[in-house]
């Protein structure tokens, strides 16, 4: 079905208002909570062809969340990082990035500098999915006491979306009624490729603000808790 986009303006106004009025979410059960940090690597933040200042801008918010989560007692913290083989099939769709052993594939320095960095669990992935051929879902199945999952990082419409939907659909399929999948807007981002740039380089345009907003709402439509930020019980 060919879409008719002429009627979208009213929806876009609604979407903007929805985003402006999102509530916070309080992490009140640290022993039952996990924080998943998706692709906060040099290759998406500060160097390489896929790096974006928009993604780099959320580093301080994520570091603050990680520090506060650790101080509150959260011990299930995961870094889910692109770690591609040199001949990765994904490079047919995206330029080569985050190749195994490169600086691009390493977490940003601000995360590496965390005092508990060595205690964070690291998961390498060779696709947009953090759950295909990684053992991550199997790990969570073995930890049924984990019921709250906070997902941060990039990109909102790619790897963050895949991670949030995988956890939500896994809970739906296995009748897990008490699982919360939470995406705080202040800790996720996506890149921007304006139309004029896309025309010049022969790529698809990717209006960052619009794509970011639409995928946040799409996650919410599917039962993901999209929130303004994560608060912690004092």
Query: For the whole prediction, is pTM greater than 0.85?
Result: yes
| Element of type H or E holding 154 | strand 148-154
Task: Determine the pLDDT at residue 2.
Answer: 82
CA distance 204 to 198: 6
pLDDT in tens, 11-45: 999 999 999 999 999 999 999 999 999 999 999 99
Task: Tokens for 198, please give them.
Answer: 């896309």
pLDDT in tens, 107-153: 999 999 999 999 999 999 999 999 999 999 999 999 999 999 999 99
Homologous superfamily in CATH for domain 30-232: Isochorismatase-like (3.40.50.850)
Task: Determine the pLDDT at residue 5.
Answer: 82
> 99: how many CB neighbours lie within 10 A of its CB?
19
Distances (CA, A) of 171 to 11, 27, 121, 219: 30, 19, 22, 14
């Amino acid at each position: 079905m060919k879409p008719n986009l002429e009627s979208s303006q009213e929806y876009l106004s609604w979407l903007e208002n929805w985003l402006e009025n999102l509530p916070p979410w309080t992490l009140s059960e640290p022993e039952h909570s996990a924080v998943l940090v998706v692709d906060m690597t040099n290759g998406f933040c500060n160097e390489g062809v896929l790096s974006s200042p928009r993604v780099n801008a959320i580093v301080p918010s994520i570091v603050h969340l990680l520090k506060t989560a650790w101080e509150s007692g959260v011990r299930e913290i995961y870094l889910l990082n692109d770690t591609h083989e040199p001949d990765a099939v994904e490079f047919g769709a995206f330029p080569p990035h985050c190749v195994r052993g490169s600086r691009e594939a390493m977490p940003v320095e601000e995360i590496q500098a965390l005092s508990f960095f060595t205690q964070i669990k690291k998961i390498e992935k060779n696709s947009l999915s953090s759950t295909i051929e990684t053992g991550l879902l199997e790990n969570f199945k073995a930890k049924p006491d984990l019921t709250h999952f906070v997902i941060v990082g990039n990109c909102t419409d790619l790897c963050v979306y895949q991670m949030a939907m995988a956890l939500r659909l896994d809970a739906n399929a296995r009748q897990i009624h008490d699982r919360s999948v939470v995406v705080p807007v202040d800790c996720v981002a996506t890149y921007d490729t304006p139309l004029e740039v896309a025309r010049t380089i022969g790529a698809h345009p990717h209006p960052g603000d619009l794509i970011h907003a639409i995928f946040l709402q799409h996650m919410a439509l599917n039962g993901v808790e999209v929130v303004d930020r994560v608060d912690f019980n004092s």
